[in-house]
Structure 1
Amino acid sequence: MLTMEDVIKEGHPTLRKVAEEVELPPSEEDQETLRRMMDFLLHSQDPEIAEKFGLRPGVGIAAPQINVSKQIIAVRVEDHNEDLLNIGIFNPKIISHSVETTFLETGEGCLSVDREVPGIVPRYARIKVEGTDMEGKKVQLKLKGLPAIVFQHEIDHLNGIMFYDRIEENDPLKKELPPKEIIKRSEFDGPLA
């Protein structure tokens, strides 16, 4: 079982590398890495298990965060309809996105960052992601709202980008979007990944 001790922290060189593509079909080792990442999210969102093992709740995690420099992400988050999106993907790519941007009103957090980083992180409001699932099947997802933000956060990790790299240094609390584009996260205020 993955714990917070397995999650590397900012400053670790792996977090700034561009992760390698996973050879397909995925090896048993890569599948096991993804299973462990998905289990971590499940456990981190269970209050009893999280407290017992000292897990910070997360809605996404990328393989580089557990010091595996491969293009693997896991996401477990509810969408705007409160439907659970629980998926692991190899080699995820954003193949299209909206012109409109959005952001989380409370800012973003990260399992690899143990400090508050205030600021608005601009993200695409809608994205289309392509990749390969655990069974080796091609998947394509159309995402908006919080799931779209989580996927962008995780895919950034695969490219060596931390969420705070996207905060404007001169205007960190910039709010240029109409209120309907601001995503509220009152039901989940933990880190994204």
Structure 2
Amino acid sequence: MTIDALAAWLVTAMTAWNPPAEHREGEQAATERYASIAHDVAEVVLDSNEQPLFDGPQGRAQTALLLAAVASYESGFRREVDLGTIRGDNGRSWCILQVQVFGRTAEQWTGKELVEDRTRCLRAGLHKMHDSFEACKKLPQVQRLSGYTRGHCGPDPKAEWRMRRALNWWKAHPLTADT
């Protein structure tokens, strides 16, 4: 699987979830930014130094899809969030994955550094998702993001919506050699 093939597949999902025409920057600019986001997601999950969230031969593609699904809910892929001019949680949540930063991330990045280099955002978010999956491993799969979405493990509709978005897309549009 190449970065370009995975990115193209991700753009299809991202466009279906959050149509670029709905962005203030205009459809063409948003579409170009979506392609850049998808490329960065693919680059991060295909990095051999990063562990996928899912096992098996398609684990990295499924991980990429979950990152995109989480970003679709957390930021809607909005330019202002991507650039850090709008932040959530009273200014503590940065970038398209709305990574909460209290000074620095576990990787020692500031919130500003997360928006200056989107791959940092994606790596920090992926690591937080790993932490959530590990902490919440006794929960059903659709709830394992609850550590990410609410800060502790337990039933959470937000965690379930994000996970189901990715799982449902995967089921309806699996990444194949023909994709």
User: Normalising to structure 1: TM-score of the pair?
Assistant: 0.29
Q: Which protein has the bigger helix share?
A: 2
Q: Which protein has the bigger strand share?
A: 1
Higher relative CO (CA 8 A, sep ≥ 6), structure 1 or 2? 1
User: Normalising to structure 2: TM-score of the pair?
Assistant: 0.31
